[in-house]
Amino acid sequence: MTDAPTFETLVLTVRDGIAVLTLNRPKVRNAIDDVMRLDLKAAIDHIGGDRAIRGLVLTGAGAAFCSGGDIRGMQERLEQGARAGELGWWRQREFHESLTKLYNLGVPTLAAVNGPAFGLGLDVALTCDFVWLADDSEVAVNFVRRGLVSDGGGFFHLPRRVGVAKAKELFFSGRTISAEEALALGVADKLLPAGELVAKAIDFLKGFAEHPATAQAMAKSILNRTFELSFEQVNVLASEGQAFCYSSADHQNSIREFFEERERARKAKGQ
């Protein structure tokens, strides 16, 4: 395992093989600025390249998870005039590449939403495989309040969790929902006291780490595409993945261990 790098706007630690990536701009409720975008890119690349890391917990410093895009950046766009769209396209293109890497990361990922998650902050949380909320937190896809639309994957992730009609209601209204409603709708998967979130999230992901990494990564790569593919196409991917797994050291070692354990049990009974 390589040493975790340091960042201006993030804190990355690794505990028992599980990476904990903390958005660390608490004075502005962890709003995402251009520096954090670059830091997130570097952090995700590092985590993806370290095979000793078997899971990722994403959380926020202080009382908020993430308040969304930095309002100062919005103010700067007012001064950019006609160039705002052009510059924004390049910025979003680069950030989308980072979010795509997070979505396709070959290990289980969990957003431990310790406080409010609004706009782009909620988009980032939804990019993870699992979303756990502090039981006193609130979330909102509130882009419409600033005359904007979701630009961090929310249009992809939210309908898959709550259905198209409910997603439309949340996007059109921009309303804030409680942790309890988020859980009932399926926006979140679990509620916990904020102080327990990260520790329980680490334990949860450690449970997955007991099993072979390659099979999990293969399963995730197929599951991430299953709504866009036909039954036949999913089965083709599954067959290709299974053929690869047949020859993997993980599978072969598992079969050997199974027969060795069965032989030990047989001999023990014979005694």
Instruction: Average the pLDDT over each of 75-79, 200-204, 235-239 and give the range with the smallest value.
Output: 75-79
Q: Is the pLDDT of residue 73 over 80?
A: no
d(CA 254, CA 245): 11
Structural domain boundaries of the chain? Answer: 10-208, 213-270
- Check if the beta carbon of residue 48 is closer than 8 Å to that of residue 97: no
**Three-state SS across 206-227?**
HHHCCCCHHHHHHHHHHHCCHH
| Residue keyed to tokens 């023990």 | 268
- State how far Cα 94 lies from the chain centre: 17
The architecture CATH gives domain 10-208: Alpha-Beta Complex (3.90)
d(CA 175, CA 173): 5
Tell me the pLDDT tens digit for each residue of 131-180.
999 999 999 999 999 888 999 999 999 999 999 999 999 999 999 999 99
Instruction: Average the pLDDT over each of 81-95, 184-198, 232-246 and give the range with the smallest value.
Output: 81-95
264, with CB counted inside 10 A (0-12, 13-18, 19+), is exposed
Q: Is the pLDDT of residue 62 over 70?
A: yes
What's the predicted TM-score (pTM) here?
0.91
**Bridge pairing between strands 138-140 and 55-60:** unpaired
CA-to-CA dists, residue 11 to 8, 35, 52, angstroms: 8, 13, 18
